[in-house]
Chains A and B, each alone.
Chain A
Amino acid sequence: DGGITQSPKYLFRKEGQNVTLSCEQNLNHDAMYWYRQDPGQGLRLIYYSQIVNDFQKGDIAEGYSVSREKKESFPLTVTSAQKNPTAFYLCASSIGAGIGNTIYFGEGSWLTVV
């Protein structure tokens, strides 16, 4: 089946640890995105990538890093510099990065700091 797969679904992080969230898509989409969702705040864009080997900061990139070495993969690392990482993380993709392309979401990953 075509789609966007995120793993793990649930992740617990200790203070000071870096963690990496995986995102893989088999839709042959060029553009990929990471959003964060907190209660009552909607979705906020962390990073996006229009094409392989290129990515841009979104609105809340501080404390996060990404890579885009393959078209189908866009992992997100939550570093220890992110002071409030507990949230629902959503990976998404679209055919292209042009305006109007529909963005589709993976099932999400819940990250909790313990």
Chain B
Amino acid sequence: QKEVEQNSGPLSVPEGAIASLNCTYSDRGSQSFFWYRQYSGKSPELIMSIYSNGDKEDGRFTAQLNKASQYVSLLIRDSQPSDSATYLCAVNRRDYGGATNKLIFGTGTLLAVQP
């Protein structure tokens, strides 16, 4: 089992729809969760971080965390063609007594927003 799993996609949604991106992780002790957006040929840029169970909203983006189910998701409302990118889920791994911030990345989900 991979430490962080994402559906590779592509996930295709029409412009204006809600895009739902999902991620599961294996380390029950993980405490920090991040969503990055990566355009083709570019470096990842941070979209959202979430640390507690529940929802966290930032503009058109909502991150959802369920630690009991080891599941984190990202919702994008009113999807725009400019949202078309690969979305990477990242989860911290506890190493060296839990003191070190090592992020484990999923392979990413390719989102395509159709105009």
Residues of A in contact with B (beta carbons under 8 Å apart): 31, 35, 40-45, 48, 50, 56, 58, 90, 94, 96-108
Contacts and interface: CB of A to CB of B under 8 A. Distances in A.
B24 interface: no
A23 B84 CA distance: 28
Given A43-B88, A104-B46, 11 more contacts: A40-B107, A41-B107, A42-B106, A42-B108, A58-B102, A90-B43, A90-B44, A99-B32, A103-B46, A103-B101, A108-B43
Contacts of B49: 102
Contacts of A96: 101
Interface residues of B, number: 26
Contact of A99 (B46, B98, B106, B107): B98
Interface of B: 4, 8, 31-32, 34, 42-46, 49, 51, 88, 90, 92, 94, 98-103, 105-108
13 contacts: A42-B107, A43-B44, A43-B88, A43-B90, A44-B105, A94-B101, A97-B99, A99-B31, A99-B92, A100-B51, A100-B101, A101-B101, A103-B103
A18 B102 CA distance: 27
Nearest to A103: B103
Query: Which of B34, B51, B99, B105 gathers most chain A CB within 10 Å?
Result: B105
A3 to B, nearest CB: 11
Given A43-B88, A99-B32, A100-B92, A107 B42 contact: yes
B44 A105 contact: yes
Given A42-B88, A42-B105, A99-B92, A107 B43 contact: yes
A42 to B, nearest CB: 4
Contacts of B90: 43, 103
B43 A31 contact: no
Contacts of B88: 42-43
B100 A45 contact: no
Nearest to A38: B107
Contacts of A99: 31-32, 92, 94, 98-101
